[in-house]
Structure 1
Amino acid sequence: MNEIALRMKTLRAHRNLKQQELSDKSGISREAIAKIECGTTLWPSKEAVFKLSEALDTTPWYFLFGVVLTAQDMDPDVLDAAKVLQSLPKDKRKLLADTIKLIAAQ
C-alpha cells in the first residue's frame, strides 16, 4: 500500500467513516475511494485530493506529504490562497511559488 493510500485509509478510520459515507460527503465515488485506498490509483487527481481533504477535515498536504494539519490549524487566508494556487495551471503555480519565495527572502 502506498503512503497516500495509507494516510487516507487511516484518516477515514479515525473519522469513523465507511467508504460510502466518505463518498457521499466528498462527491467522489466509492469505487474511486476504494481504488485509492488499495493502491490501484497511485496519484489521485487534484480535484479528488481537495474534495477528500475537505470531507475529512484535513488539508491536501496531509494526503500528498503526510503533514498532519487540519483546516482549523491553518490561517484562513493561507488556506484560501493555497486552494487558489492549487487550482492554477502548473506554470502559473511555479511562477507564484517563486515570487512568494523571493518576497519571503527579503
Structure 2
Amino acid sequence: MAAEMGKRQLLHYLTMSNLDTYRYGTRRQIFVTPTPYPTDEVIRSLELPGVALARKHLLILEPLRLDDIAGPRHVDWGSGFEYILLNGFPIEAISSRWPLELW
C-alpha cells in the first residue's frame, strides 16, 4: 500500500478534545486521508462526525510503518478519499512529534 501512495503521508484530523488520544498510537480502527484540507473544509470533505467540533490539528503518519490499510475509498456524502487503518497504528508510524496545528 505504501508503494501505491508514493511518498505521500497519511493525515488524521483531530479535535481539541482528542489531541492526546493517539500520542502512543492506537489499536483502534481509524480513518485517514492523504489529502490536506483547510480547517473550513475538512469536516465537509471527509463527512466527519461532530460538525460542531473543529478539526484544527492533525497527526501525520508514515504509510511504510502501517499494516492492514484498507482503501482508498470515496467518502460517502463527502468529496474526499480515505483509507482505514484496520488495526490502528504503532507509535513508530507517527511522523510528527506532536499534533500539528492547522492555520
Whether the TM-score (by the shorter chain) exceeds 0.5 is: no
**Greater gyration radius:** 1
Q: What TM-score results when the alignment is normalised by the length of structure 1?
A: 0.25
Q: Which structure exhibits the higher relative contact order, with contacts defined as CA atoms closer than 8 Å and separated by 6 or more residues?
A: 2
Q: What TM-score results when the alignment is normalised by the length of structure 2?
A: 0.26
